[in-house]
Structure 1
Amino acid sequence: MPNSEEPQTVFQEILGFKEERSAFASGRVATMTRGANFWSRFLSHEWSSAALYLFLDVVSWLAIYRVAGWFRYDAFYATPFQFFVINLIQLCVIVAALYLVGGYDRTVEKLTLGYAAEHILAVTAAGLVSAMLIYSAATFDQTMKPSRGVLLQYLVASSVGRSFLVIGGGATAAHFYEAYKKSANGQQLEFVDVNEEHVGQPIAGEGSPIVQGNLASKLDDLSNRYSGIVLAERASSLNTQLLERLVHAQFQETRVYTLESFYETQWRYLPLGIIDPFWPLQTGFQLARTSPYHYLKRLFDVVASATALVICSPLFILVPFLIWIKDGAPVLFRQERVGRDGRHFILLKFRTMRCRTHHPDEDIYTREGDPRVTRVGRWLRKLRVDELPQLWNALKGDISLIGPRAEWSKCAERYEQSIPFYHFRHLVKPGITGWAQVNYPYGESDEDAVEKLNYDLYYIRHYSLKLDAMIVLKTLYTMLFGKGR
């Protein structure tokens, strides 16, 4: 007899399954309804689209950076904190740029060619600004390495055991060797004499590299042995065959440097020994009276100095008061300086030293621990606050914010008589801060004046927005970390 309870049980199970499915479907619909209500309420707010765009930007940026980090093996950062700070800086710059073009404004039409152009320009500008910030941070924090720096470390590692081949064995090559020893370059130098007059002799006395011969064989093995060739001989002393071989090496094998290009590329200054009276007539100078950057820089000087005078106005009350309380009057220091084209003007600074006696034997240099510097003046110099009155000179046009230091007319007359080509530094308007000031300590001698002139000549040769930006970053670092004197 068939079991009548079995169909009934199956029917009940089917009915229970349908009820469960119906309950699940009802719960799912309720959940979807609540979700839809949440999104509808969220999207009803004015700020909802901005928040959504911002969230997508952050997620996209982190994803891009994660992929980039994978390709460079996370070699950029020394600590997770650096990762956080760098990403935060870049995100802030990009978000600010997109905000300025209406990227987070729901009323701005995004699907237009005009907005697309603005978006591209904003992201490009943000990339340039953030790159400048990151590379400037890496300049002063040696634990950080920009992505190209990561590539460089592999290139440097691959160059271990290589050296620079210096063609020359005379006084010029010896002077280059002495300068190279004082630099941070770690690669060795090999010297070879073109005419083999100095073969077997040390280049600069005992303990220095021995000058070698057989230049032809060395030029045949450039790719594996040398990182570059430095030409420490005049081109007129080289035969045609050798010059052709060097040109071939420059374009196909390794970099060939003249002394000038090596100093500029590796050390960013120009030694007087390779300068001649026709140096300003060479091609490649970006400095010209008709240069658009010349007028742009003047506009920047006016706007920036006027703005800085307003922002720093409390200091123009506080600092003179401190000087007057501690050291009495006068609070301002006035001195005749030499500007562009040799024009004289009166430069203003906050007084940091006791008043000069104008005695003929008085030291014209301010030295380390100079007793003439007052207690307040020592701090003003350290923080570069004593330079603030020069903003008025910049506003008037006597000086620029960036340029070679304006020298005291008495010192300038002395230098022009003793230092060759010193007058070249008057081709540009002097500045409150400059390439020499941020790369060389405070001058205390005629020798220091020569070294600083090397950097001033480099600035004149490479006068540009990029170099001025580098000077600004280094100046800010000096002010923030009290590196002045």
Structure 2
Amino acid sequence: MGSLYISYNLTYLRRLGEWEGWSQGLLVITATWLSISYLSGRYSLAETKGKNYGLSRFVETLLAACGVLLVFIGHSWMYQIVDAETRFRGFMIPLVGYAVAFSSLGQMGALKLSSKRKKWILVSNESECSVIKRELGNESLTTKRNCLICNTDQIGERFRVPSGEGLSIGVGNLQTSDQELITRLLRLRENGEQIVPLLSWCEQELQRIPPELIQAKWLIQAEGFGLRPGSLNWRVKRLYDVCGAAALLIISTPLLILGGLLVWLEDRGPVFYCQIRSGLYGRPISIWKLRSMRVNAEALGAQWASQRDPRITNVGRILRATRIDELPQLISVINGDLSLIGPRPERPEIEQDLERLIPHYRIRHWIRPGLSGWAQVCYPYGASVEDSRMKLSYDLYYLRNSSLFLDFLITLKTIRLVSGAKGASPKAPQ
């Protein structure tokens, strides 16, 4: 935004001899630039940094610049601006040139700053250390943390924190017998070192909470989990759901009709498909989708989806990638079975195994399930027990930190995923 402000006013100063500041035209340019940049993923950290990383970022910047130019051309055509060609060559071209240069330089600087990760020392018992090591092992190369993981059984020889190095410390479940360690940690805190609980480190750095680190006592005492029925947050979220779902249903009705027509034309089978899922507190609810699989696809019972699943029809692949098949569930949001944002509801048959294999799985039932959620925008579509465990860790983060702002952020991320056709496609097996 700063690069656009400077670029606009430098161009204005060069052409008209004065500093314009903010104006209606600059606001339109800024909104266009930010929208295209966000939808193209320009503001997101890439999963890999190959040799073409810088080129791809530059192409995304040029895409935003082209969007600004197209908006100007459309505006000029609509209002028949006489000197549009002069303004285009004399003002808009220099403006986007400045913006591309300044924005690219700014992004390079931000990338260098983000690469300087905070140094952490994580101190806990052996079982929690093994969980953290596994969580860090699941991360991509670009998100690796600068961490030293210390087991309390070996702490006497290894645990040294040099003063003044800007280290932060995450502390797990320590035994009361570790009095010497507790004393040393207190002295470090007296010296100004940052010390946080291990679960808080997970929230800050991983933006999720591994279920294996949760204890029942912590659940009873923990702050957060503010979405209680009857609370103000609960009522505000419900208002957001009803208004948002009604607006989306009106806007998406043509897509829903077109999708239904394509489903029927492909095999003349039923347009809609109904499933029983687990809702609030695990109560069964019915959800409706546009049918994306062949008729009788689950004649042998519930199954995980898979890469290139043969049960999915040709039209169904498109509907799933764009998530158009989920649009009928907006009615379930209005009637109160679903929320716009929340953990995705799972099938009771599958949940029986998940509750047995994943600790604290039923916590996700404390909140009304949603069309999209923190897990859906942060993790690929899952089709295994391990994927469900990872998604639960994101759901736990959402339950503890739920707010209207977080719902709005998830909504924006969902729009970006849908615009890039990154829908319900299982990831390839490792």
Considering the TM-score relative to the shorter chain, is it more than 0.5? yes
Q: Output the CA distance in 2 between the equivalents of 1:133 and 1:287.
A: 33
Show the counterpart of 1:351.
291
Q: CA deviation at 1:482?
A: 1.0
Aligned counterparts of 1:250 and 1:265: Cα–Cα separation in 2: 19
Q: Quick one: which of 283, 301, 306 aligns to 1:367?
A: 306
Q: 1:302 to 1:169 in 2, by over 3 A?
A: closer
2:264 is aligned with 1:308: no
Aligned residues of 2:305 and 2:383 also touching (Cα < 8 A): yes
Judging changes above 3 Å, is the alpha-carbon distance between structure 1 residues 236 and 169 closer, same or farther for their aligned structure 2 residues? closer
* 2:147 is the alignment partner of 1:189: yes
Which of 164, 179, 184 aligns to 2:135? It is 179
How far apart are the structure 1 equivalents of 2:414 and 2:105?
Answer: 21
Q: Relative to 1, partners in 2 of residues 1:245 and 1:66: Cα closer, same or farther, differing over 3 Å?
A: farther
The secondary structure found in structure 2 opposite 1:256 is strand
Could you tell me which residue of structure 1 aligns to residue 372 of structure 2?
A: 433
Q: Distance in 2 between matches of 1:468 and 1:460?
A: 11
Q: How does 1:285-304 map to 2 (within 5 A)?
A: 285=224, 286-304=226-244
From 268, 273, 277, the equivalent of 2:207 is 268
1:478 aligns with 2:422: no
For residues 53-84 of structure 1, the C-alpha deviation after alignment (integer angstroms, 9 at most, x for no partner) is xxxxxxxx9469979xxxxxxxxxxxxxxxxx
How far is 1:195 from its partner?
4.3
Unaligned runs of 5+ residues in structure 2 are 11-21, 47-56, 58-102, 426-430
Secondary structure of the corresponding residue to residue 167 of structure 2: strand
Shift in CA distance, 145/291, structure 1 to aligned 2, threshold 3 Å: farther
Q: Secondary structure at the match of 2:305?
A: coil
1:457 equivalent among 391, 396, 401:
396
Q: What's the RMSD between the two structures over aligned residues?
A: 3.6
**Distance (whole Å) between structure 2 residues aligned to residue 452 and residue 138 of structure 1:** 25
Amino acid at match of 1:189: C
Measured at CA, do residues 275 and 322 of structure 1 come closer, stay the same or move farther in structure 2, by a change above 3 Å? same
Contact 2:122/2:198 (8 A) holds in 1: no
SS at match of 1:165: strand
Judged with a 3 Å threshold, the aligned counterparts in structure 2 of structure 1 residues 190 and 424 are, in CA distance, closer, same or farther, namely: closer
Q: What is aligned with 1:424?
A: 363
Q: How far did 1:392 drift? A: 0.7
8 Å CA contact retained: 2:122, 2:147: yes
**Corresponding residue of 2:405:** 466
Instruction: Give how far 1:342 is off.
Output: 1.7
SS in 1 for 2:371: strand
Q: Is 1:222 matched up with 2:163?
A: yes
Distance 1:166 1:88, change over 3 A: farther
- 2:232 and 2:108 map into 1 onto residues whose CA distance is 33
Q: Match of 2:157?
A: 213
Contact 2:329-2:371 within 8 A present in 1 as well:
yes
Q: Is the 1:167–1:230 Cα contact (8 Å) retained in structure 2?
A: yes
Deviation, 1:314, is 1.6
Distance 1:152 1:293, change over 3 A: farther
Letter in 1 for 2:287: L
2:178 pairs with 1:234: no
- Residues 112-169 of structure 1: CA deviation (Å, up to 9, x unaligned): xxxxxxxxxxxxxxxxxx9999888663376569989967954854x6xx84323246
Deviations 1:186-234 (A, max 9, x none): 45433444443xx7xxxxxxxxxxxx7153xx23x1322x632232442
Q: Provide the residue aligned with 2:122 in structure 1.
A: 166
Distance, in Å, in 1 between the alignment partners of 2:421 and 2:234 is 31
Identity between Structure 1 and Structure 2 (%): 31
Q: Residues 211 and 359 of structure 2 are in contact (CA less than 8 Å); yes or no, is this contact kept in structure 1? A: yes
Give the aligned residue type for 1:255: Q
Choose which of 29, 36, 43 in structure 2 pairs with 1:139.
43
User: How far apart are 1:248 and its partner, in Å?
Assistant: 4.9
Cα separation, partners in 2 of 1:89 and 1:348, compared to 1, 3 Å: farther
CA contact 1:333–1:349 (8 Å) conserved in 2:
yes
Count of aligned positions: 351
SS of the aligned residue for 1:316 comes to helix
SS of 1:173's equivalent in the other structure is: helix
The amino acid of 2:44's aligned partner reads F
Question: 1:401 is matched with which residue: 340, 343, 351?
Answer: 340
Q: Does 1:380 align with 2:319?
A: yes
TM-score by length of 2: 0.71
Q: CA deviation at 1:93?
A: 9.5
Q: Deviations over 1:421-474 (max 9, x none)?
A: 111111000010011111111121112111111111111111111211221111
Q: Secondary structure at the match of 2:122?
A: strand
Report if the CA contact (8 A) 2:189-2:195 is conserved: yes
Quickly say closer, same or farther: Cα 1:355–1:186, change in 2 above 3 A: same
Q: Work out whether residues 212 and 359 of structure 2, in 8 Å CA contact, stay in contact via their aligned partners in 1.
A: no
Which is bigger in relative contact order (C-alpha 8 A, separation at least 6)? 2
Q: Please state whether the residue corresponding to 2:253 is helix, strand or coil.
A: coil
Q: 1:89 to 1:333 in 2, by over 3 A?
A: farther
- 1:91 aligned residue (27, 45, 60): 27
SS of the aligned residue for 1:314 comes to helix
Opposite residue 27 of structure 2, the aligned amino acid is L
**Deviation, structure 1 residue 185:** 4.0
Q: Within the alignment, does 1:253 sit opposite 2:192 as a pair? A: yes
Instruction: Give 1:263 deviation, angstroms.
Output: 1.1
Instruction: Give the corresponding residue for 2:272.
Output: 332
Using structure 1 for the length normalisation, give the TM-score. Answer: 0.63
Alignment match, 1:444 = 383
What does the per-residue CA deviation read over 1:282-340, in whole Å, with 9 as the maximum and x for residues that have no partner? 24212222432211121121122122222222223211111111022211010111111
Aligned pair in 2 of structure 1 residues 324, 155: CA closer, same or farther (>3 Å)? closer
- For residues 172 and 146 of structure 1, the distance between their equivalents in structure 2, rounded to whole angstroms, comes to 41
- C-alpha distance in 1, partners of 2:144/2:356? 37
1:365 Cα deviation (Å)?
0.8
